[in-house]
Amino acid sequence: MNKNEVDWDKELKGEPFSSKHFTPQMQQQVEQRLEQKRKFSFTRWSLATAGCALMVVALWLGYSHLSERAVVPPLAEQADPGMDTDTPAAVGWLSFPVAEGGSEKVRVKLNHVMAEVYTSGEVSRKIHSPAKQLPAMTFPLPKDVEGRLEATWVTRPDLTTSYLLLAPAGWAAKVSIAENGSYGVTFQDPDNPAQSLKYTDNNWGCAGCAIGSIGSYFPDQASWADGMGFPVYEPLAFTKHQLLGESGADSRTARYTLELNDQGIQHQGAAYYDVGEWGYLFRLLEMKLSLQFSQSELVESILGFFAANHGPLAIPGAEEDQANEEYTLKALKSALEEQGMELTAVGQHEEHQFNKKLAGVWPDELLVDESKSADMHERLSVYAYGNAEECAAGLEALKLEINRTTYDGGARIYPHVFRGANFLVAYWTRGNSEVAFSYDRTIKQTLRSFES
């Protein structure tokens, strides 16, 4: 049989499949082959046309006026900058005021990177859109850092809020999100991998991690950490340590320098902590630099920007998303279903797991994954309040209700309780130490996405 390529366009003109020797399978193969040729031809012309269009746009941008705000193209229109967490995409420029004074601006290249969030083993789908326009920058920068400094804008598909960090130009960024909800970004010098810039945030999770870090990076809090059960066994060797201020968030923000390690690497950083209803928060930005890195103005700009904002610069979500967001059961149910939960409303006259009026509000009850299990289903009791104060009152009422003395002799059942965005959610789960709680993290992250 001749194995040479056949020009099917030429051989099969007219009525190509009139012969009985052509089986339906052969006909399908031929049609697929011809379709591939047409697509390839179209693609070449499309790429050429797109290339010309891009050249025109680039020339126009080169001569257009740069705004003080970075107008960010909609993410859906960008060339897939999001899911590759190792390669930030350049999306524009930011203008900072000059530290030396005057009307001149410091132009800083803006990169974008989107983190991947895994929920129940799958990549999270987008719930909200991030900001379409970044705020005007107010932190002053020395003129000399222009061209040596870049800004990285980090977004997540499950949150409307995002954040901004400064880093040395050309350093590769990699975003990380841990199972416990903590997250961060690591920038690495491609020419000297020993040099890095690392941001970490426990995101109000892992209380022990936060308490231990607070005691380590804030020596005046070491005794407090010890009293909480997390003593500082090996105090850090600070050569410099200074609080940003004496009150408020500034008193919980510090700049520091550590002694050189055995490899000749110096650690310089900024740390921030807070204590609140969610638990304990700890943020750290640390640079590891060799003695050859003598760009002190660059280091000061990066760490100073972080310290001034008590962490990375927080970017609010898109205004239209926030304006249209309604704290309704329908909105919450839709958001949870986007994260992989199958939810079925329990009818008004059906039996409820927990039909208790709390702070003037009756719950809506949802069955979880009804079609996936023939056993007793997990359930959500959802309370939607008008404001945060009413929601807090509902939480206190729930505590009293589930802890009140009963004389029915039955086993007491405690739900996992989540509060956020005026919602109070009681998750009646079957999980235990052997069977993981399926949706704790999903519910927690979704509620936070409404608050963003």
- 192, 297: one domain: yes
pLDDT value of position 47: 42
- Residue 413 forms part of a structural domain: yes
Domain boundary at 293, 318, 343, which? 318
- Residue 17 forms part of a structural domain: yes
Structural domain of 245? 66-318
- Residue 429 forms part of a structural domain: yes
- Residue 440 forms part of a structural domain: yes
- 245, 367: one domain: no
Q: Are strands 183-188 and 196-201 parallel, antiparallel or unpaired?
A: antiparallel
Six-digit token pair at 384? 């939607």
3-state secondary structure of 306: helix
**CB-based contact 131:317 (threshold 8 Å):** yes
Q: Which residues of 213-245 are buried (b: 16+ CB within 10 A; e: fewer)?
A: bbbbbbeebbeebeebebebeeeeeeeebeebe
- 136, 280: one domain: yes
Sequence-distant (6+) residues with CB within 8 A of 45 are none
Spatial distance between the Cα atoms of 287 and 303, rounded to a whole number of angstroms: 9
- Residue 344 forms part of a structural domain: yes
Sequence-distant (6+) residues with CB within 8 A of 56 are none
For the chain, the distance separating the N- and C-terminal CA atoms, rounded to the nearest angstrom, is: 67
DSSP 99: T
pLDDT value of position 41: 45
Which pairs from 233-241 meet CB under 8 Å and 24+ separation? none
pLDDT value of position 172: 92
- Residue 1 forms part of a structural domain: no
CA 414-415-417 angle, 5° bins? 130
3-state secondary structure of 353: coil
- Residue 147 forms part of a structural domain: yes
Among residues 422, 443, 449, 419, the alpha carbon closest in space to that of 431 is found at 443
Q: Which residues of 1-39 are buried (b: 16+ CB within 10 A; e: fewer)?
A: eeeeeeeeeeebeeeeeeeeeeeeeeeeebeeeeeeeee
* pTM value > 0.85: no
φ, ψ dihedrals at 338, nearest 5°: -65, -25
3-state SS string for 105-157: EEEEEEEEEECCCEECCEECCCCCCCCCECCCCCCCECHHHCCCEEEEEEECC
- 53, 78: one domain: no
Q: What is the pLDDT of residues 354-397, one digit of tens each?
A: 888 999 999 999 988 877 665 667 899 999 998 888 888 999 99
- Whole-Å CA distances, 308 to 134, 140, 320, 414, 428: 18, 11, 28, 42, 42
Low-confidence ranges of the chain (pLDDT < 70): 1-90, 117-132, 158, 277-278, 318-327, 372-376, 405-412, 431-437, 451-452
Among residues 451, 323, 316, 452, the alpha carbon closest in space to that of 388 is found at 451
**CB-based contact 395:417 (threshold 8 Å):** yes
- How many structural domains does the chain have? 3
**CB-based contact 418:447 (threshold 8 Å):** yes
- 250, 357: one domain: no
From the CA atom positions of the chain, what is the Rg in Å? 28
- 180, 283: one domain: yes
Six-digit token pair at 388? 């945060």
- 238, 341: one domain: no
- 284, 381: one domain: no
- 271, 348: one domain: no
- 196, 100: one domain: yes
Among residues 200, 120, 185, 196, the alpha carbon closest in space to that of 155 is found at 185
Amino acid 29 reads Q
- 364, 303: one domain: no
pLDDT value of position 157: 73
Which run of H or E residues covers position 97? strand 89-97
Domain boundary at 318, 350, 385, which? 318
- Residue 259 forms part of a structural domain: yes
- 265, 332: one domain: no
Locate all alpha helices (DSSP H) within 176-244, ordered by sequence.
Answer: 207-217, 222-227
pLDDT value of position 292: 84
Longest CA pairwise span in the chain (Å): 91
**CB-based contact 381:417 (threshold 8 Å):** no
pLDDT value of position 319: 47
Spatial distance between the Cα atoms of 27 and 125, rounded to a whole number of angstroms: 40
